[in-house]
Amino acid sequence: MSPLAAAPAADPTLKDFGTDPWWLIGGKVLFIFAFLVVTVLMTMWMERRVIGRMQLRVGPNRAGPFGLLQGLADGIKLALKEDIVPRQVDKVVFILAPVMAAVPAFISFIIIPFGPTVSIFGHKTALQGTDLPVAVLLVLAMSSMAIYGVVLAGWSSMSPYSLLGGLRSSAQMISYEIAMGLSFVAVFMFAGTMSTSEIVASQHDTWFVVLLAPSFVIYVITMMGESNRIPFDLPEGEGEIVGGFHTEYSSLKFAMFFLAEYINLTTLSALATTLFLGGWRAPAPISTVWAGANSGWWPMLWFLIKVFLFIFFFIWLRGTLPRVRYDQLMRLGWKVLIPVSLGWILLVAAIRAFKNEGYDMRQIVIAAAVVGAVVLLATVLWEMFRGGEEDKEIVPGAAQGGQAEPAAGGFPVPPLDAPHYHGRAREPVRPAKIETSSEEVTSGTH
Protein backbone atom coordinates (compact mmCIF):
# COMPACT_ATOMS: atom_id res chain seq x y z
CA MET A 1 0.00 0.00 0.00
CA SER A 2 1.39 3.41 -0.99
CA PRO A 3 2.11 6.05 1.67
CA LEU A 4 -0.59 8.29 0.19
CA ALA A 5 -3.49 5.88 0.30
CA ALA A 6 -7.13 6.62 -0.32
CA ALA A 7 -9.44 6.39 2.64
CA PRO A 8 -13.17 5.77 2.60
CA ALA A 9 -15.34 8.78 1.96
CA ALA A 10 -15.64 10.77 5.16
CA ASP A 11 -16.63 14.35 5.85
CA PRO A 12 -14.23 15.91 8.36
CA THR A 13 -15.70 17.69 11.36
CA LEU A 14 -14.29 20.20 13.83
CA LYS A 15 -13.20 17.49 16.25
CA ASP A 16 -10.91 16.01 13.56
CA PHE A 17 -8.63 19.05 13.61
CA GLY A 18 -5.87 19.78 16.09
CA THR A 19 -4.72 16.18 16.45
CA ASP A 20 -2.22 15.98 13.56
CA PRO A 21 1.50 15.51 14.32
CA TRP A 22 3.85 18.44 13.84
CA TRP A 23 5.35 17.14 10.61
CA LEU A 24 1.91 16.81 9.03
CA ILE A 25 0.91 20.32 10.09
CA GLY A 26 4.14 21.70 8.66
CA GLY A 27 3.58 19.75 5.45
CA LYS A 28 0.09 21.20 5.05
CA VAL A 29 1.35 24.75 5.57
CA LEU A 30 4.17 24.22 3.08
CA PHE A 31 1.77 22.68 0.56
CA ILE A 32 -0.67 25.63 0.85
CA PHE A 33 2.16 28.14 0.39
CA ALA A 34 3.52 26.31 -2.67
CA PHE A 35 0.02 25.86 -4.08
CA LEU A 36 -0.72 29.58 -3.85
CA VAL A 37 2.59 30.59 -5.46
CA VAL A 38 2.17 28.10 -8.32
CA THR A 39 -1.46 29.14 -8.77
CA VAL A 40 -0.39 32.78 -9.08
CA LEU A 41 2.09 31.85 -11.81
CA MET A 42 -0.52 29.77 -13.63
CA THR A 43 -3.13 32.51 -13.30
CA MET A 44 -0.76 35.11 -14.77
CA TRP A 45 0.01 32.83 -17.70
CA MET A 46 -3.64 31.93 -18.25
CA GLU A 47 -4.72 35.57 -18.06
CA ARG A 48 -2.23 36.64 -20.71
CA ARG A 49 -3.04 33.75 -23.01
CA VAL A 50 -6.83 34.06 -22.68
CA ILE A 51 -6.92 37.85 -23.14
CA GLY A 52 -4.46 37.45 -26.02
CA ARG A 53 -6.87 35.08 -27.74
CA MET A 54 -9.77 37.46 -27.09
CA GLN A 55 -7.79 40.30 -28.69
CA LEU A 56 -6.49 38.14 -31.58
CA ARG A 57 -2.96 38.04 -30.16
CA VAL A 58 -0.66 35.15 -29.37
CA GLY A 59 0.31 35.99 -25.80
CA PRO A 60 3.47 34.73 -24.06
CA ASN A 61 5.01 31.81 -25.96
CA ARG A 62 8.81 32.23 -25.61
CA ALA A 63 9.75 31.55 -21.99
CA GLY A 64 9.35 27.78 -21.61
CA PRO A 65 6.88 25.52 -23.42
CA PHE A 66 3.81 27.52 -24.44
CA GLY A 67 5.20 30.42 -22.41
CA LEU A 68 4.54 28.68 -19.07
CA LEU A 69 7.68 30.13 -17.49
CA GLN A 70 6.81 33.73 -18.34
CA GLY A 71 5.33 34.38 -14.88
CA LEU A 72 8.42 32.94 -13.19
CA ALA A 73 10.66 35.13 -15.36
CA ASP A 74 8.62 38.21 -14.43
CA GLY A 75 8.87 37.34 -10.73
CA ILE A 76 12.65 36.99 -10.93
CA LYS A 77 12.88 40.27 -12.84
CA LEU A 78 10.82 42.10 -10.19
CA ALA A 79 12.91 40.69 -7.36
CA LEU A 80 16.21 41.70 -8.98
CA LYS A 81 15.23 45.21 -10.10
CA GLU A 82 16.52 48.25 -8.26
CA ASP A 83 14.51 49.04 -5.14
CA ILE A 84 13.78 52.77 -5.33
CA VAL A 85 12.56 54.44 -2.14
CA PRO A 86 11.48 58.08 -2.52
CA ARG A 87 13.29 60.54 -0.30
CA GLN A 88 10.40 61.95 1.77
CA VAL A 89 8.43 58.77 2.50
CA ASP A 90 7.81 57.31 5.94
CA LYS A 91 10.26 54.46 5.51
CA VAL A 92 9.01 52.24 8.33
CA VAL A 93 5.39 52.31 7.17
CA PHE A 94 6.48 52.30 3.51
CA ILE A 95 8.30 48.97 4.02
CA LEU A 96 5.68 47.36 6.29
CA ALA A 97 2.69 48.15 4.02
CA PRO A 98 3.43 45.44 1.38
CA VAL A 99 3.93 42.90 4.16
CA MET A 100 0.57 43.81 5.71
CA ALA A 101 -1.06 43.29 2.32
CA ALA A 102 0.60 39.96 1.46
CA VAL A 103 0.62 38.07 4.77
CA PRO A 104 -3.19 38.11 5.36
CA ALA A 105 -3.65 36.82 1.81
CA PHE A 106 -1.65 33.67 2.68
CA ILE A 107 -3.38 33.19 6.05
CA SER A 108 -6.89 33.28 4.57
CA PHE A 109 -6.36 30.07 2.60
CA ILE A 110 -5.60 27.95 5.67
CA ILE A 111 -9.30 27.20 6.28
CA ILE A 112 -10.18 26.19 2.69
CA PRO A 113 -10.98 22.43 2.39
CA PHE A 114 -9.32 20.66 -0.54
CA GLY A 115 -10.96 17.28 0.03
CA PRO A 116 -12.29 14.74 2.56
CA THR A 117 -10.39 12.68 5.10
CA VAL A 118 -7.53 10.67 3.58
CA SER A 119 -4.63 8.61 4.85
CA ILE A 120 -1.12 10.11 4.60
CA PHE A 121 1.67 7.75 5.71
CA GLY A 122 -0.86 5.82 7.76
CA HIS A 123 -2.27 8.90 9.51
CA LYS A 124 -5.87 9.88 8.75
CA THR A 125 -6.25 13.60 8.24
CA ALA A 126 -8.46 16.05 6.40
CA LEU A 127 -7.22 17.71 3.23
CA GLN A 128 -7.45 21.10 4.90
CA GLY A 129 -5.03 23.25 6.85
CA THR A 130 -7.31 23.76 9.82
CA ASP A 131 -10.89 24.61 10.67
CA LEU A 132 -12.61 26.86 13.19
CA PRO A 133 -16.17 27.31 14.43
CA VAL A 134 -16.01 30.76 12.79
CA ALA A 135 -13.71 29.88 9.90
CA VAL A 136 -15.47 32.07 7.31
CA LEU A 137 -15.10 35.09 9.59
CA LEU A 138 -11.34 34.53 9.51
CA VAL A 139 -11.35 35.31 5.78
CA LEU A 140 -13.30 38.52 6.37
CA ALA A 141 -10.93 39.49 9.18
CA MET A 142 -7.86 38.92 6.99
CA SER A 143 -9.35 40.92 4.13
CA SER A 144 -9.98 43.76 6.60
CA MET A 145 -6.34 43.59 7.71
CA ALA A 146 -5.19 43.80 4.09
CA ILE A 147 -6.98 47.16 3.77
CA TYR A 148 -4.52 48.61 6.28
CA GLY A 149 -1.63 47.68 3.99
CA VAL A 150 -3.28 49.46 1.06
CA VAL A 151 -4.15 52.60 3.04
CA LEU A 152 -0.73 52.86 4.69
CA ALA A 153 1.00 52.34 1.33
CA GLY A 154 -0.86 55.29 -0.14
CA TRP A 155 -0.35 57.48 2.94
CA SER A 156 3.33 56.76 3.50
CA SER A 157 4.27 57.42 -0.15
CA MET A 158 3.76 61.19 0.29
CA SER A 159 2.25 61.38 -3.18
CA PRO A 160 -1.21 62.77 -4.06
CA TYR A 161 -1.79 59.98 -6.58
CA SER A 162 -0.88 57.27 -4.09
CA LEU A 163 -3.04 58.89 -1.41
CA LEU A 164 -6.04 59.07 -3.75
CA GLY A 165 -5.51 55.44 -4.74
CA GLY A 166 -5.32 54.34 -1.12
CA LEU A 167 -8.49 56.23 -0.19
CA ARG A 168 -10.33 54.87 -3.21
CA SER A 169 -9.26 51.32 -2.47
CA SER A 170 -10.14 51.47 1.22
CA ALA A 171 -13.60 52.94 0.54
CA GLN A 172 -14.27 50.36 -2.16
CA MET A 173 -13.06 47.34 -0.20
CA ILE A 174 -14.92 48.33 2.96
CA SER A 175 -18.15 48.97 1.04
CA TYR A 176 -18.09 45.69 -0.84
CA GLU A 177 -16.91 43.72 2.17
CA ILE A 178 -20.17 44.63 3.92
CA ALA A 179 -22.23 43.22 1.07
CA MET A 180 -19.96 40.16 0.92
CA GLY A 181 -20.45 39.46 4.61
CA LEU A 182 -24.22 39.80 4.22
CA SER A 183 -24.21 37.29 1.35
CA PHE A 184 -22.72 34.72 3.75
CA VAL A 185 -25.56 35.03 6.29
CA ALA A 186 -28.03 32.97 4.25
CA VAL A 187 -25.39 30.24 3.90
CA PHE A 188 -24.89 30.21 7.67
CA MET A 189 -28.66 29.88 8.16
CA PHE A 190 -28.94 26.85 5.88
CA ALA A 191 -25.74 25.16 7.05
CA GLY A 192 -26.21 26.00 10.74
CA THR A 193 -22.48 26.65 11.12
CA MET A 194 -19.61 28.89 10.02
CA SER A 195 -17.14 26.03 9.73
CA THR A 196 -16.01 25.52 6.13
CA SER A 197 -15.75 21.73 6.42
CA GLU A 198 -19.28 21.46 7.84
CA ILE A 199 -20.65 23.86 5.20
CA VAL A 200 -19.28 21.54 2.53
CA ALA A 201 -20.82 18.55 4.35
CA SER A 202 -24.23 20.27 4.42
CA GLN A 203 -24.20 20.43 0.59
CA HIS A 204 -24.09 16.68 0.07
CA ASP A 205 -27.60 16.69 -1.48
CA THR A 206 -28.01 20.14 -3.06
CA TRP A 207 -25.45 22.87 -3.60
CA PHE A 208 -26.25 26.26 -2.10
CA VAL A 209 -25.90 27.90 -5.51
CA VAL A 210 -29.31 26.39 -6.27
CA LEU A 211 -30.98 27.14 -2.94
CA LEU A 212 -29.38 30.56 -2.45
CA ALA A 213 -28.96 31.91 -5.97
CA PRO A 214 -29.36 35.61 -4.97
CA SER A 215 -26.61 35.24 -2.35
CA PHE A 216 -24.36 33.67 -4.97
CA VAL A 217 -24.96 36.51 -7.46
CA ILE A 218 -24.27 39.14 -4.79
CA TYR A 219 -21.08 37.36 -3.75
CA VAL A 220 -19.82 37.14 -7.35
CA ILE A 221 -20.31 40.90 -7.78
CA THR A 222 -18.60 41.67 -4.48
CA MET A 223 -15.73 39.38 -5.48
CA MET A 224 -14.83 41.78 -8.28
CA GLY A 225 -15.13 44.80 -5.98
CA GLU A 226 -13.05 43.19 -3.25
CA SER A 227 -10.26 42.13 -5.63
CA ASN A 228 -9.91 45.58 -7.31
CA ARG A 229 -10.13 44.10 -10.79
CA ILE A 230 -11.90 45.26 -13.94
CA PRO A 231 -14.60 46.52 -14.10
CA PHE A 232 -13.97 47.68 -10.51
CA ASP A 233 -10.26 48.55 -10.71
CA LEU A 234 -10.75 52.24 -9.85
CA PRO A 235 -7.95 52.27 -7.20
CA GLU A 236 -5.44 51.50 -9.97
CA GLY A 237 -6.83 53.70 -12.75
CA GLU A 238 -3.77 54.25 -14.94
CA GLY A 239 -5.35 57.15 -16.82
CA GLU A 240 -6.30 59.00 -13.63
CA ILE A 241 -3.92 58.28 -10.74
CA VAL A 242 -0.95 56.61 -12.46
CA GLY A 243 -0.79 53.30 -10.57
CA GLY A 244 -2.89 53.97 -7.52
CA PHE A 245 -1.65 53.23 -4.02
CA HIS A 246 1.49 51.44 -5.25
CA THR A 247 2.66 54.18 -7.63
CA GLU A 248 5.88 54.79 -5.69
CA TYR A 249 6.72 51.10 -5.17
CA SER A 250 9.19 49.06 -7.17
CA SER A 251 11.11 45.80 -7.12
CA LEU A 252 10.17 43.25 -4.44
CA LYS A 253 7.76 45.58 -2.61
CA PHE A 254 5.67 46.03 -5.73
CA ALA A 255 5.86 42.26 -6.34
CA MET A 256 4.31 41.66 -2.90
CA PHE A 257 1.30 43.83 -3.80
CA PHE A 258 1.09 42.00 -7.12
CA LEU A 259 1.27 38.64 -5.35
CA ALA A 260 -1.38 39.63 -2.80
CA GLU A 261 -3.81 40.62 -5.56
CA TYR A 262 -3.60 37.27 -7.33
CA ILE A 263 -3.68 35.28 -4.07
CA ASN A 264 -6.85 37.15 -3.09
CA LEU A 265 -8.26 36.21 -6.48
CA THR A 266 -7.57 32.54 -5.74
CA THR A 267 -8.92 32.78 -2.19
CA LEU A 268 -12.17 34.43 -3.31
CA SER A 269 -12.63 31.75 -5.98
CA ALA A 270 -11.95 28.96 -3.47
CA LEU A 271 -14.35 30.51 -0.96
CA ALA A 272 -17.08 30.71 -3.61
CA THR A 273 -16.46 27.06 -4.42
CA THR A 274 -16.65 26.09 -0.74
CA LEU A 275 -19.78 28.06 0.18
CA PHE A 276 -21.91 27.71 -2.95
CA LEU A 277 -20.58 25.00 -5.31
CA GLY A 278 -20.31 22.06 -2.92
CA GLY A 279 -16.61 22.51 -2.19
CA TRP A 280 -14.64 19.44 -3.20
CA ARG A 281 -17.74 17.40 -4.09
CA ALA A 282 -18.12 16.16 -7.66
CA PRO A 283 -20.93 17.54 -9.85
CA ALA A 284 -24.22 15.68 -9.89
CA PRO A 285 -23.73 13.58 -13.06
CA ILE A 286 -20.33 12.31 -11.93
CA SER A 287 -21.29 11.69 -8.29
CA THR A 288 -24.42 9.76 -9.23
CA VAL A 289 -22.72 7.51 -11.79
CA TRP A 290 -19.42 6.97 -9.97
CA ALA A 291 -19.69 5.95 -6.31
CA GLY A 292 -16.04 6.75 -5.52
CA ALA A 293 -16.03 10.26 -6.98
CA ASN A 294 -16.16 11.89 -3.54
CA SER A 295 -13.60 9.67 -1.81
CA GLY A 296 -9.82 9.54 -1.71
CA TRP A 297 -7.84 12.11 -3.67
CA TRP A 298 -10.30 12.59 -6.52
CA PRO A 299 -12.23 15.41 -4.76
CA MET A 300 -9.08 17.52 -5.00
CA LEU A 301 -9.46 17.45 -8.79
CA TRP A 302 -13.08 18.65 -8.66
CA PHE A 303 -12.06 21.44 -6.28
CA LEU A 304 -9.27 22.67 -8.57
CA ILE A 305 -11.53 22.57 -11.63
CA LYS A 306 -14.14 24.75 -9.90
CA VAL A 307 -11.51 27.21 -8.64
CA PHE A 308 -9.92 27.65 -12.06
CA LEU A 309 -13.33 28.06 -13.68
CA PHE A 310 -13.93 30.99 -11.33
CA ILE A 311 -10.49 32.42 -12.17
CA PHE A 312 -11.33 32.10 -15.87
CA PHE A 313 -14.54 34.00 -15.15
CA PHE A 314 -12.49 36.84 -13.64
CA ILE A 315 -10.21 36.89 -16.68
CA TRP A 316 -13.19 36.82 -19.04
CA LEU A 317 -14.68 39.87 -17.36
CA ARG A 318 -11.37 41.73 -17.54
CA GLY A 319 -11.16 41.18 -21.28
CA THR A 320 -14.80 42.09 -21.87
CA LEU A 321 -16.12 44.85 -19.61
CA PRO A 322 -15.00 48.50 -19.42
CA ARG A 323 -14.20 50.32 -16.20
CA VAL A 324 -17.18 51.90 -14.41
CA ARG A 325 -17.30 55.35 -12.87
CA TYR A 326 -16.50 55.63 -9.18
CA ASP A 327 -19.91 57.03 -8.26
CA GLN A 328 -21.56 54.12 -10.08
CA LEU A 329 -19.31 51.71 -8.20
CA MET A 330 -20.22 53.09 -4.77
CA ARG A 331 -23.89 53.44 -5.67
CA LEU A 332 -24.03 49.77 -6.67
CA GLY A 333 -22.50 48.72 -3.37
CA TRP A 334 -24.50 50.91 -0.97
CA LYS A 335 -27.83 51.38 -2.77
CA VAL A 336 -28.25 48.02 -4.50
CA LEU A 337 -26.16 45.19 -3.06
CA ILE A 338 -26.51 45.98 0.65
CA PRO A 339 -30.32 46.64 0.60
CA VAL A 340 -30.94 43.58 -1.57
CA SER A 341 -28.79 41.47 0.76
CA LEU A 342 -30.72 42.65 3.81
CA GLY A 343 -34.08 41.96 2.14
CA TRP A 344 -32.92 38.52 1.04
CA ILE A 345 -31.73 37.67 4.57
CA LEU A 346 -35.13 38.64 5.99
CA LEU A 347 -36.86 36.50 3.37
CA VAL A 348 -34.65 33.47 4.03
CA ALA A 349 -35.11 33.84 7.79
CA ALA A 350 -38.90 34.02 7.38
CA ILE A 351 -38.95 30.93 5.15
CA ARG A 352 -36.83 28.98 7.62
CA ALA A 353 -39.08 30.05 10.49
CA PHE A 354 -42.25 28.98 8.66
CA LYS A 355 -40.64 25.67 7.73
CA ASN A 356 -39.77 24.99 11.35
CA GLU A 357 -43.41 25.66 12.27
CA GLY A 358 -44.59 23.03 9.76
CA TYR A 359 -46.19 25.25 7.11
CA ASP A 360 -46.49 24.24 3.44
CA MET A 361 -43.21 25.35 1.88
CA ARG A 362 -44.56 25.41 -1.68
CA GLN A 363 -47.06 28.15 -0.94
CA ILE A 364 -44.51 30.09 1.10
CA VAL A 365 -41.93 30.01 -1.69
CA ILE A 366 -44.52 31.08 -4.30
CA ALA A 367 -45.69 33.96 -2.13
CA ALA A 368 -42.10 35.03 -1.44
CA ALA A 369 -41.30 34.94 -5.17
CA VAL A 370 -44.35 37.10 -5.96
CA VAL A 371 -43.43 39.64 -3.27
CA GLY A 372 -39.83 39.76 -4.45
CA ALA A 373 -40.87 40.27 -8.07
CA VAL A 374 -43.24 43.11 -7.11
CA VAL A 375 -40.56 44.86 -5.07
CA LEU A 376 -38.02 44.46 -7.86
CA LEU A 377 -40.46 45.79 -10.48
CA ALA A 378 -41.35 48.75 -8.27
CA THR A 379 -37.67 49.56 -7.81
CA VAL A 380 -37.00 49.45 -11.56
CA LEU A 381 -40.01 51.66 -12.31
CA TRP A 382 -38.91 54.14 -9.63
CA GLU A 383 -35.47 54.43 -11.21
CA MET A 384 -36.99 54.86 -14.69
CA PHE A 385 -39.53 57.57 -13.82
CA ARG A 386 -37.24 59.42 -11.46
CA GLY A 387 -35.19 60.46 -14.48
CA GLY A 388 -31.79 60.16 -12.83
CA GLU A 389 -31.78 63.41 -10.87
CA GLU A 390 -28.75 62.22 -8.94
CA ASP A 391 -26.71 62.14 -12.14
CA LYS A 392 -27.36 65.83 -12.76
CA GLU A 393 -24.76 67.77 -10.84
CA ILE A 394 -24.89 71.56 -10.79
CA VAL A 395 -21.43 73.04 -11.00
CA PRO A 396 -21.15 76.46 -9.31
CA GLY A 397 -20.54 79.19 -11.88
CA ALA A 398 -21.54 77.09 -14.88
CA ALA A 399 -25.26 77.91 -14.70
CA GLN A 400 -24.59 81.67 -15.05
CA GLY A 401 -22.42 81.10 -18.08
CA GLY A 402 -19.21 81.76 -16.21
CA GLN A 403 -16.20 79.55 -15.76
CA ALA A 404 -16.66 76.62 -13.40
CA GLU A 405 -14.64 76.58 -10.23
CA PRO A 406 -11.95 73.84 -10.53
CA ALA A 407 -12.31 72.77 -6.90
CA ALA A 408 -16.14 72.90 -6.90
CA GLY A 409 -18.02 69.93 -5.58
CA GLY A 410 -15.55 69.18 -2.81
CA PHE A 411 -13.05 67.24 -4.92
CA PRO A 412 -10.04 66.82 -2.66
CA VAL A 413 -7.32 67.71 -5.17
CA PRO A 414 -7.91 70.48 -7.77
CA PRO A 415 -6.54 70.14 -11.31
CA LEU A 416 -2.85 70.94 -11.47
CA ASP A 417 -3.28 73.24 -14.48
CA ALA A 418 -6.34 75.12 -13.17
CA PRO A 419 -6.25 78.86 -13.95
CA HIS A 420 -8.03 79.73 -10.68
CA TYR A 421 -7.86 78.29 -7.20
CA HIS A 422 -10.33 79.28 -4.49
CA GLY A 423 -11.30 82.41 -6.42
CA ARG A 424 -7.74 83.78 -6.72
CA ALA A 425 -6.04 84.07 -10.05
CA ARG A 426 -2.90 82.02 -10.37
CA GLU A 427 0.07 84.05 -11.52
CA PRO A 428 1.91 82.60 -14.48
CA VAL A 429 5.37 81.27 -13.83
CA ARG A 430 7.99 83.36 -15.64
CA PRO A 431 11.48 82.06 -16.34
CA ALA A 432 14.20 83.62 -14.27
CA LYS A 433 16.22 86.31 -16.00
CA ILE A 434 19.87 85.35 -16.40
CA GLU A 435 22.25 88.30 -16.27
CA THR A 436 25.52 87.91 -18.10
CA SER A 437 28.33 90.33 -18.69
CA SER A 438 29.61 91.30 -22.10
CA GLU A 439 33.01 89.81 -21.31
CA GLU A 440 31.48 86.35 -20.67
CA VAL A 441 29.55 86.48 -23.94
CA THR A 442 32.53 87.54 -26.02
CA SER A 443 34.86 85.03 -24.37
CA GLY A 444 32.43 82.13 -24.87
CA THR A 445 32.37 81.15 -21.22
CA HIS A 446 28.55 81.57 -20.93
Domain ranges of the chain: 8-284+292-337
With a threshold of 0.95, does the pTM exceed it?
Answer: no
Buried b (16+ CB within 10 A) or exposed e, 119-157: bbeeebbbbbbbbbeebbebbbebbebbbebbbbbbbbb
Strands, E, within 50-173: which ranges? 113-120, 123-128
Of 169 and 8, the one with more pLDDT: 169
User: pLDDT value at position 411?
Assistant: 42
Q: Is the pLDDT of residue 326 over 80?
A: no
Q: How many CB atoms lie within 10 A of CB 214?
A: 17
Q: How many CB atoms lie within 10 A of CB 335?
A: 12
User: pLDDT value at position 308?
Assistant: 92
What confidence tier does 31 reach under pLDDT thresholds 50, 70, 90?
Answer: very high
State how far the Cα of 262 lies from the Cα of 251, in Å rounded to an integer.
17
Taking residues 247-262, report their average pLDDT: 84
Closest by CA to 149, choosing from 209, 107, 206, 109, is: 107
User: pLDDT value at position 312?
Assistant: 92
Q: Is the pLDDT of residue 444 over 60?
A: no
User: pLDDT value at position 442?
Assistant: 46
Q: What's the length of the chain?
A: 446
- Look at 129-133, 160-164, 321-325, 372-376 and tell me which has the smallest mean pLDDT: 372-376
When the pLDDT of each residue in the chain is averaged and rounded to a whole number, the result is: 78
State how far the Cα of 36 lies from the Cα of 107, in Å rounded to an integer.
11
What confidence tier does 319 reach under pLDDT thresholds 50, 70, 90?
Answer: confident
State how far the Cα of 232 lies from the Cα of 226, in Å rounded to an integer.
9
3-class DSSP state for residue 64? coil
Taking residues 281-305, report their average pLDDT: 84
Taking residues 173-192, report their average pLDDT: 87
Taking residues 6-29, report their average pLDDT: 74
